[in-house]
Amino acid sequence: MPIEFSKQFTAHETSIPGVVLYDLPVHGDNRGWFKENWQREKMVALGLPDFRPVQNNISFNEKAGTTRGIHAEPWDKFISVATGRIFGAWVDLREGPSFGAVFTAELDPSQAIFIPRGVGNGFQTLADNTAYTYLVNDHWSADAQGQYTFLNLADETADIPWPVPLERAELSDKDKAHPRLAEVAPMPAKKILVLGADGQLGKALRDLYDGDASVEFAGRGEFDLGAEASFTVRNWKNYSTIINAAAYTAVDAAESPEGRTAAWAINVTAVARLARTAVEHDLTLVHVSSDYVFDGAAGSHAEDEALSPLGVYGQTKAAGDAVVSVVPRHYIVRTSWVIGEGNNFVRTMASLAERGVKPSVVDDQIGRLTFTQDIAAGIRHLLDTGAGYGVYNLSNEGEPQSWADIAADVYEITGGSGAAVVRVSTEEFFRGKSAAPRPVNSLLSLGKLAAQGFRPAGAAARLRDYLDK
């Protein structure tokens, strides 16, 4: 069958999620033909994942009927035919609802197909002297071979209609011995790694992803951000995403010489290592930021507002944001006034209310609480929906409040009187104390995240639920 010349470059979805068949323009004349087998800019514009190929392989097959597969490998592949023609068969061998899905097609040099990691690949040549070529985005190694998943070419469930019956085809003994689908262990998905898993946000992420084997949690004991070895001993090929829930958050202590050093080490140096790791291994990096990257002069802080931190803590968070922003696949989730499982303002006020204390609380700093369960849910929403990369503000919704307003609400909810809260200015509260400067307005605009389909709960309802528990 002759090659069809001058096709439009077109993408065709298939029955297997992520497997996409492409028509390639082939230009021919009396001398032969030419095609752009891989053209990153055009192909990415058409929707092909920018999968960063690192190796090009060619399989030459002398005889029609040569059959190879079905192999699912721990990397992505972009497959095309250099000469001849093939019948290709692909079976989804990944964990999930599409396990066992089958797609078949005949390919000549005017077509190519993208095969994601974990989808089994097999083919049969339909012409002598067929050359089959493929790009992969990881280097072959003996260690990687242990992560392959195989399916028997004759599996009855897949029921692949091989043009040349397998009893007359050329097969290797290894391919003949592969298991049937019922015996195949699905290839697990790449993992999400949560760092800082023992902090307030880390605990909320543990609750949210409880029972999900594709999410791995690491506290400081399992992953010390300050140790270079933490970054070198892990096989990053097995991960898709890092969620960095770790940070130095001692705002006032950061103003001391020791605190300044610690804040820069955790919030900037360690984040730079994470960013480098994400770039080198094509990972998504999720980083949690803070309203302290702003000076509080704006009425409501948008994601694209210029950074203007006042104190050391804010400066380190702003520097961390700048580092993460250069990672191609990144989410910076900017929060304010975080409340979760652990020591925090709401717990302190509840304890004071229980003991009948009349606290002095700042009344001229304005913002909204952000409960960690909503930060965790917002992060998951961004990842699950494949939202556009960039910065997203995330706090709970509701009317802006001062710290004193919130303290009064805590007293009322716990059975006390909000009038017990003594309202003071920031200047009065910190007079004679060593303290970091605070933004007077921490309100974050939430429209960008809402446009992605995520609306966090109201702060008032979350506060009541939190105190009820």
Catalytic annotation, residues: 71, 134
Rounded Cα distance between 331 and 289, Å, is 10
